Amino acid sequence: MNAELLKQCEEKAKSWLERNYNDETKEAVRKMLENNDKTELIDSFYQNLEFGTGGLRGIMGAGSNRMNIYTVGAATQGLANYLKMQFPKLKQIKVVVGYDCRNNSPYFAKTVANIFSANGIKVYLFDELRPTPEISFAIRHLGCQSGVMITASHNPKEYNGYKAYWEDGAQLVAPHDVDVIKEVNKITDIDNIKFEPNSSLIEIIGREIDHIFIDKVKTLSLSPDSIRRHKDIKIVYSPIHGCGAKLVPMALKEFGFDNVIKVDEQFVLSGDFPTVVSPNPEESAALDLAIKKAIATDADIVMASDPDCDRLGIAVKNEKGEWVLINGNQTCMVFTYYLIKKWEELGRIKGNEYVVKTIVTTELIKNIAEKAKVELYDCYTGFKWIAAIMRENEGIKSYIGGGEESYGYLIEDFCRDKDAVSACAIMAEIMAWAKDNGKTWLELLQDIYIEYGYSKEKGISVVRKGQSGATKIKQMMSEYRANPPKEIAGSKVVLIKDYHTLTAKNILLGDIAKLDMPTTSNVLQFFTEDGTKISVRPSGTEPKIKFYIEVRGKMNTRADFYDAEAKANEKIAEVIRDLGV
């Protein structure tokens, strides 16, 4: 154990006992100091929980590196100070505050509302938990300058988080992201945080916004006739103990679907997520209960949203009647294909339309867009970047849709964060549309592969917790930069993109081009001769480094699907061995 680090953490912890923290916090700190095992003490105090460009996210508990009312308070005070600097002539600055199902979420949200109001800022506070996209919508609808959502999305139950939004309903981007961080970092003393509320500036909102939001979502429907003909398709839905329980069934009903089967055990709202190990629809086990219900009811499709209802996972039946999990790339590809196809059918393609994907999402989406002569934007991971492109094009070009491989999609432009409410409704519509065209969902996917080429993707996350883990992740990225692979799975690396230096190095030609991106990001990409793409990036919200693997193949008929899949899996296994992960 690093003796100097331990000494620093002990001194920092002792200072918490001498200052105006509440008794509960002080007692938790005393226990850490008295414990012979200093692991928790070091992890809780070795750094300040960083207010990053997306806000806060961390394990709940006492300490400078934990989510608690003091780290949340400092973030809110800093944001309040920044808002007053940015809108000095505005008679009344307004914000929206929402929260999810997690433990302490209502408490943190109330704390946020109190601090904003104490700073003279009008607060619209939701009466109960609500989906993240509804908070984004409400910011725009109510003409607010900012907003905060208390959520840790799909992280484990020990976590909570704080998402900060700007007046367009999107998470912060330059220059506001960096400038807000500066203001937050200035809050070094909790006595500078105004905790005492001005209750007259806090307005409770709820059902009235729900109905307005759902009415807007309903306008997204592109195939109402298909829904009328197949309104009775059996849809199994799970909110995985979270916010989707509030609005997804309502949205499906408004679209016209009248056979929604709830996974009752997971409609129990709980921050302990009692029926799952991880409340993440990217994890197959999170859909186990829903698939069990689907088998029992002979359902047509399974849909599940994460705790703050901004991600969607689905499962469908294959030709044998077996349930198959669909990955985020496949879902994003089907969304893009369907939206473009329907826009074409409805005569909406005028030549100024665009779709957006992230750089780690399947390249097949580029093929779909190019064939339809629809512009494609590639952006960094995270919906704030998709929202930034929407903001740049507002009033100039028409947004069709955008998404990312991590199960997030946004079909509408009246919201500026990924939205599982609208995604569930449109996915059910796609199911009805496929039936109308004599196809199963899986056959629709297979036909896309036949037309645009086959791809198979796999994501791998290597978890490295605590201070030592953060160091190991940095070392891994440094090693990949210093000694990049020359060959992966038997195919030569021909292109390396480094978004940290914003350079693209063509290995064959030996030249280096500049990448046109709004800022730098700690991401590396390797492209091989046979079309394989590998992306490597440390997570911005979790203690892990992520690998995104995409390999290419070919399909001539639906019958080729499983052979193409088997070959792709073999290729992916080779890639994983060569990367050593």
Whether residue 175 is preceded by a cis peptide bond, meaning omega within 30 degrees of 0, is: yes
Question: Which is catalytic among the residues 44, 136, 153, 521?
Answer: 153
Closest CA to 452 of 351, 377, 553: 553
44 is catalytic: no
Half-sphere exposure of 186 (CA within 13 A, CB side): 14
Cα separation of 75 and 193, whole Å? 9
Strands 55-59 and 94-99 come out as: unpaired
DSSP string, 478-500: HHHHHS--SEETTEEEEEEEETT
H or E element in which residue 425 lies: helix 420-436
Owner of token pair 């995409």: 550
Closest CA to 426 of 324, 318, 336: 336
Query: φ and ψ at 502, to 5 degrees?
Result: 55, 50
**Single-letter amino acid, residue 12:** K
Q: How many CB atoms lie within 10 A of CB 379?
A: 21
Assign 368 to helix, strand or coil: helix
447 backbone φψ class: left, alpha, beta (φ>0; ψ -120 to 50): alpha
DSSP string, 317-365: E-TTS-EEEE-HHHHHHHHHHHHHHHHHHTT---S-EEEEEETTS-THH
Owner of token pair 């883990």: 469
Reported residue count of the chain is: 581
Closest CA to 159 of 267, 54, 272: 272
Cα separation of 109 and 98, whole Å? 7
Cα separation of 310 and 279, whole Å? 12
Closest CA to 431 of 325, 334, 332: 334
Q: Which residues pair with 487 in a beta bridge?
A: 492
Q: Annotated catalytic sites, by residue?
A: 153
